[in-house]
Amino acid sequence: MTKIKRRTFVGLAAATTTALSMPSIAFGALPRVVVIGGGAGGATAAKYIAKDSKGAIDVTLVEASKRYYTCFFSNLYLGDFRAYGSIGHNYYGLAVNHGVNMVHEWALSVNNAAKKVNLGSGESISYDKLVISPGIDLKFESVNGYSAEAQSKMPHAWKSGTQVQLLKNQVKGMKKGGTFVMVPPPNPYRCPPGPYERVSMIAHQFKKSNPTAKIVILDPKNKFSKQGLFMEGWQKHYPGMIEWISAETHGGIKKINAATMEFETDLDTFKADAASVVPAQRAGRIAMNAGVNKGDWCPIVPASMQAQADENIYVLGDASIAKSMPKSGFSANSQAKVAANHIRGSLTGSKVFTPRFANTCWSLVATNDGIKVGANYKATAEKIDKTSGFISKTGEDSNLRKATYEESIGWYSGITSDMFS
Amino acid sequence: MKSKLVLLSIVFSLIFTNSIFADQKQLVGADADYGEHLFGECVTCHNSTGLGQGIPKITGMKTNQFITKILAYKSKEKENAVMQMVAERLGEEEINSLALYLSKLK
């Protein structure tokens, strides 16, 4: 009994000392960080703030899903290179290993003045610093005739999860010799090579079980990420199957009809037997509610990822204007570490290091044919500036392409471990 | 000129490090906290639990081995576009800090 009392006393004394060392925080309470969104940006930020502060910061992660399906590698599930279960992850590691408080609810609104996040349950959580990493919302209206209802016939499948399963079902069930129409989004959007890797994976499925099928890409752009590499790969692995039609060729998609599966353009009206339409995008709704957006996306301070509109809010990943970085899971993970270091520094006085950003995006064109593009970035006053980079070359040796694919598997294992364990 | 000097000093530091069996005190400019921070960049790809599937495991790597490999990527003697890019912006302080932190990892 006496021993327990002594331990209790020592514990209290330690806690009091810690609390007193925190500036501008209520007596006895730890500084509190709330993170909204448990993807590549949010999960990484929550983990690193909790891990590196070693208990000196109270971290809460607000994420509605208890199981998170990554958008990256969902194309590989479409191509049968991954099982669906292998792209799903839970948050046990963040809670057990790092003491992150998980709140599985929707964040409804942010009260910037009171520094509170209001939850779907009606409860609210106070913060000293708030991280918003909500990913994207879809602008259904950007494609005339597309809607939340039409997504059942023409899945966007741009937020992973059951939409990708639905798309796979429709690809596998498409009539023999039928036409698949893919509508990629206009810039800027999540995962620049994603629509073209998707086409590759669907072509891979067709080659196996529906070899006379055709794929038509009605692009709202005149060029796309890794274009030369994809075009070369399509010619090599799926000759005659894929037709890419640029905006200047088709003159714009005037209207789509989900009931008749028709796509009307200046060039022609295309009839699809199955389709995927990925509309234009914007930052997730909560970023708009917090008022940290300027138009569709959120301007940030490049050195810290703080929102330009509110120094107590950080915006990560797809929702931010982090140019010249692309909107990718790798970018979000990299930005999260910069923000975590800055937040910890501002709340506990720990050292803030010079921000370092990096990105690499791997894509799979066919079995053992992986390609990649990557860059280093540094913060300037105006933007996150590219300092160096690389891209796979056309005509590369097949052993190198196989190694690149294997590297992408290693990366998936690495980044998901970094995010969730 | 400056980059050559940095490279030269890293090479000297490597030779010295080798000769005294990687005594951590000789890792010029090394800071384990900085190393831990920089290591965050590594674990986006190198699984921190060390499974090593598709991308080699780096936890548990010997100091000499780590420095030799990074310098080989930096000089583009060793192939891999991602690692060459990573190594390109690591100076002596960064390499030695990472080496120190890695040597402390179990």
- CATH number of the domain to which B50 belongs: 1.10.760.10
Q: Is A376 left (phi over 0), alpha (psi -120 to 50) or beta?
A: beta
CATH number at residue A25: 3.50.50.60
User: Cβ contact (<8 Å) for A415 and B45?
Assistant: yes
Tens digit of each residue's pLDDT (9 = 90 or more) over A125-183:
999 999 999 999 999 999 999 999 999 999 999 999 999 999 999 999 999 999 999 99
User: Cβ contact (<8 Å) for A413 and B51?
Assistant: yes
* Whether A33 and A80 share a structural domain: yes
* Whether A50 and A118 share a structural domain: yes
* Whether A266 and A302 share a structural domain: no
* Whether A310 and A254 share a structural domain: no
Task: Flag whether residue B20 sits within 8 Å of chain A, measured between CB atoms.
Answer: no
Of A281, A300, A324, the one marking the end of a domain is A281
State yes or no: pLDDT of A1 exceeds 60. no
Task: Answer whether residue A113 is part of any domain.
Answer: yes
Query: If you count residue pairs, one on A and one on B, with CB atoms under 8 Å apart, how many are there?
Result: 84
User: Cβ contact (<8 Å) for B81 and A390?
Assistant: yes
Interface of A with B (CB under 8 A): 48, 52, 330, 333-334, 337, 341, 351, 353, 356, 358, 360, 372, 374-376, 387-390, 392, 406-411, 413-415, 417-418, 421
Residue-number span of the structural domain to which A294 is assigned: 16-135+284-350
* Whether A98 and A205 share a structural domain: no
DSSP code for A304 = T
Chain A positions in Cβ-Cβ contact with residue B44 (cut-off 8 Å): 330, 333-334, 358, 411, 414-415, 418
* Whether A145 and A259 share a structural domain: yes
Helix (H, G, I), strand (E, B) or coil at A257: strand
Identify the band that residue A395 occupies on the pLDDT scale cut at 50, 70 and 90: very high
User: Cβ contact (<8 Å) for B48 and A421?
Assistant: yes
Residue-number span of the structural domain to which B23 is assigned: 2-104
* Whether A155 and A264 share a structural domain: yes
User: How many separate domains does chain A show?
Assistant: 2
Question: Which chain A residue lies closest to B79 (C-alpha atoms)?
Answer: A400
Cβ-proximal residues to A112 (8 Å cutoff; 6+ apart), any chain: A290, A291, A310, A312, A313
Cβ-proximal residues to A135 (8 Å cutoff; 6+ apart), any chain: A37, A39, A159, A190, A284, A317, A318, A319
CA pair distance B10, A176, nearest whole angstrom: 62
Q: How far is B19 from chain A (nearest CA, A)?
A: 31
Tens digit of each residue's pLDDT (9 = 90 or more) over B37-80:
999 999 999 987 756 678 998 888 888 999 999 999 999 999 99
| Mean pLDDT over each residue of chain A, to the nearest integer | 94
Of A334, A350, A366, the one marking the end of a domain is A350
Task: Answer whether residue A382 is part of any domain.
Answer: no
Tokens of residue A405, six digits: 């694919």
* Whether A143 and A277 share a structural domain: yes
**In this predicted structure, what is the pLDDT of residue A373?**
97
User: How many separate domains does chain B show?
Assistant: 1
Of A297, A324, A350, the one marking the end of a domain is A350
* Whether A100 and A147 share a structural domain: no
* Whether A147 and A277 share a structural domain: yes
State yes or no: pLDDT of A9 exceeds 60. no
* Whether A219 and A189 share a structural domain: yes
Tens digit of each residue's pLDDT (9 = 90 or more) over A321-369:
999 999 999 999 999 999 999 999 999 999 999 999 999 999 999 999 9
**In this predicted structure, what is the pLDDT of residue B3?**
56
Task: Answer whether residue A401 is part of any domain.
Answer: no
Q: How far is A22 from chain B (nearest CA, A)?
A: 21
* Whether A208 and A271 share a structural domain: yes
Cβ-proximal residues to A177 (8 Å cutoff; 6+ apart), any chain: A210, A212, A213
Question: Which chain A residue lies closest to B40 (C-alpha atoms)?
Answer: A337
Tens digit of each residue's pLDDT (9 = 90 or more) over A190-230:
999 999 999 999 999 999 999 999 999 999 999 999 999 99
